[in-house]
Structure 1
Amino acid sequence: MKSQDTPFEGGPMDGRVLPVMLGPTGHPPKTYRIPVPDPDGGPATMLVYRRVPRGHSRRLGLIQGWKYQYDPDDTSGGRLRWPWSKPATPPAAPPSGKPDEANG
């Protein structure tokens, strides 16, 4: 598989460049998670970085590369979100199936 040297911005990895494996489309993953072990033996802390465009070309506005930006408020929880998935909160109760007496 191919890899690409990708810069990291913000957070503890600021200024570092790491080789990141590219997917089948030739792009790095949208999120990059780095587990940091706890020195006291507790649960590991997860650093989350989001993929953002590095720059755009002048004439066509094409993306010229990718970089990772630190995301301290990660709310995705590491799960994939599919468009057909159920929402996290239950919807409001639907109206009753009885016809309205004033209309009918």
Structure 2
Amino acid sequence: MKSEDTPFEGGPMDGRVLPVLVGPTGNPPKTYRIPVPDAAGGPPTVLVYRRVPRGHSKRLGLPRGWKYEFDPGGGTGARLRWPWSKPDSRAGGKPGDTEG
């Protein structure tokens, strides 16, 4: 597999450069999740980083590489919602449910 050295900005990984595997299109994943073990033996904390363009070319405005920025919200936000997908487990119940 091919990898690319990608810088991280913000959060605990600020200033580090890690090799990140790239997909078939040559781009790294849109989100990068890093599990950090808990010192007390509890569930690990997950750090979430979002992919953003490092810069743009002058002529066509194409991205010139990628970097990851820290997302303190931790994974909330844009998610594909297909009609055949299961409802979000965080939402209170199924869509269309009425009590009574």
Scaled by the length of structure 1, what TM-score is found? 0.77
Match of 2:39 in 1: 39
Question: 1:18 corresponds to which letter in structure 2?
Answer: L
The CA RMSD measured in Å over matched residues stands at 2.2
Match of 2:80 in 1: 81
Distance 1:43 1:11 in 2: 20
Aligned length: 91
Once the two structures are superposed, what CA deviation does each residue of 1:15-51 show, in whole Å capped at 9, x if it has no partner?
0000000011110000000000011111100000000
Identity %: 70
Q: 1:59 to 1:75 in 2, by over 3 A?
A: same
Question: 1:61 corresponds to which letter in structure 2?
Answer: G
Shift of 1:74: 2.3
Question: 1:44 corresponds to which letter in structure 2?
Answer: P
Distance 1:17 1:38 in 2: 23
Match of 1:7 in 2: 7
Shift of 1:83: 3.5
Q: Specify the structure having the higher radius of gyration (Cα).
A: 1
Scaled by the length of structure 2, what TM-score is found? 0.80
Shift of 1:70: 0.1
Question: 1:24 corresponds to which letter in structure 2?
Answer: P
- Residue 12 of structure 1 aligns to a residue whose secondary structure is helix
Distance 1:34 1:81 in 2: 22
- Residue 4 of structure 1 aligns to a residue whose secondary structure is strand
Which runs of 5 or more structure 2 residues have no equivalent in the other structure?
Answer: none
Question: 2:82 corresponds to which letter in structure 1?
Answer: P
Shift of 1:91: 4.6
Distance 1:25 1:3 in 2: 12
Which of 28-37 and 68-77 deviates more? Answer: 68-77
